[in-house]
């Protein structure tokens, strides 16, 4: 005999539970105003917009359908801080908690993007980006330090490209995380280890593949920027895709 067997009349299917949860959310909360930062924005072929609204501790899957977003002069971009009015709901087929946005307006520059711009301005004022600080790259390097994750596809693509161009090139890999809370500290430590390694390399390549804006946040770290500036050989940063800025 099964202990505490449920009353069959009270047993729900996943469909019934999701429908009940959706009803409770939509009827119980009504219209809600949220302030948050846009992340992971995509525009579907249907014209609907999908993105995350986030703050420092949490993020919320959000949708703005075409019949609501057509009123806006332009779509938001990642890093925008916005005020959004909408309804909390649940996509029944997958059980996904989501925010259905009816109205969207700017609330100023996102805090993450603002901190990045402030750091960039501070470093620029110190002359860190002055053209004369750039060092000439060797035309045919014989030794190269590579700083990246050993797990992703990027490292294999990079090594393949280096071997095709310079078959005799000696590559020394310094493995590190390239995203997450510890990534900036690990990358900075890898740069310092490379700087101290012997024999010295002629150039250092710091790289990772593309990702969402928050995935690249480790490369906005001030200590990391200063470690690059202090490195004894030229550091080439190949981060993300062509449109990514760190």
pLDDT digits (tens, 9 = 90+) for 95-113: 889 999 999 988 865 667 7
pLDDT at 51: 97
Residue 104 lies in a domain: yes
Structure token pair of residue 186: 């690990």
| SS3 at position 24 | helix
Residue 211 lies in a domain: yes
- Domain span holding position 222: 128-239
The answer to whether residues 105 and 132 belong to one domain is: no
The answer to whether residues 168 and 75 belong to one domain is: no
d(CA 81, CA 36): 6
The answer to whether residues 162 and 76 belong to one domain is: no
d(CA 51, CA 98): 10
In sequence order, what are the residues at sequence separation of 6 or more whose Cβ sits closer than 8 angstroms to the Cβ of residue 229?
A: 128, 133
Residue 193 lies in a domain: yes
Which segments of the chain have a pLDDT < 50? 1
- Annotate 106-119 with b (16+ C-beta within 10 A) or e (fewer): eeeebebbeebeee
The answer, as to whether pTM is greater than 0.85, is no
76 in Cβ contact with 104 (< 8 Å)? yes
Q: Of 109, 137, 171, at which residue does a domain stop?
A: 109
The answer to whether residues 174 and 97 belong to one domain is: no
Residue 244 lies in a domain: no
What does each C-alpha distance from 128 to 116, 120, 244 come to in angstroms?
15, 9, 20
The answer to whether residues 156 and 88 belong to one domain is: no
Query: Domain tally for the chain?
Result: 2
Residue 246 lies in a domain: no
Q: Of 43, 78, 109, at which residue does a domain stop?
A: 109
pLDDT digits (tens, 9 = 90+) for 155-194: 888 999 999 999 999 999 999 999 888 999 999 999 999 9
Q: Please report, for the domain that includes residue 216, its CATH number.
A: 3.40.50
């Amino acid at each position: 005999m099964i202990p505490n067997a449920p009353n069959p009349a009270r047993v729900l299917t996943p469909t019934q539970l999701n429908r009940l949860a959706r009803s409770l959310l939509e009827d119980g909360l009504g219209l809600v105003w949220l302030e948050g930062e846009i992340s992971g924005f995509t525009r579907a072929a249907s014209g609907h917009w999908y993105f995350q609204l986030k703050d420092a501790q949490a993020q919320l899957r959000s949708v703005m359908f075409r019949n609501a977003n057509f009123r806006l002069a332009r779509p938001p971009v990642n890093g925008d801080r916005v005020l959004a009015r909408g309804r909390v709901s649940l996509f029944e087929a997958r059980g996904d908690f989501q925010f259905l946005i009816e109205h969207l307006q700017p609330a100023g520059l996102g805090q993450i993007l603002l901190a990045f711009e402030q750091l960039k301005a501070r470093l620029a004022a110190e002359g860190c980006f002055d053209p004369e600080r750039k060092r000439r790259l060797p035309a045919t390097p014989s030794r190269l330090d590579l700083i990246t994750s050993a797990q992703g596809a990027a490292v294999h693509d990079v090594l393949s490209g280096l071997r095709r161009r310079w078959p005799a090139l000696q590559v020394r890999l310094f493995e590190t995380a390239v995203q997450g809370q510890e990534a900036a500290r690990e990358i900075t430590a890898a740069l310092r280890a490379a700087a101290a390694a012997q024999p010295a390399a002629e150039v250092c390549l710091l790289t990772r593949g593309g990702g969402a804006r928050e995935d690249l946040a480790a490369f906005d770290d001030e200590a990391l920027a200063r470690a690059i500036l202090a490195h004894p050989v030229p550091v080439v940063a190949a981060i993300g895709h062509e449109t990514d800025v760190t």
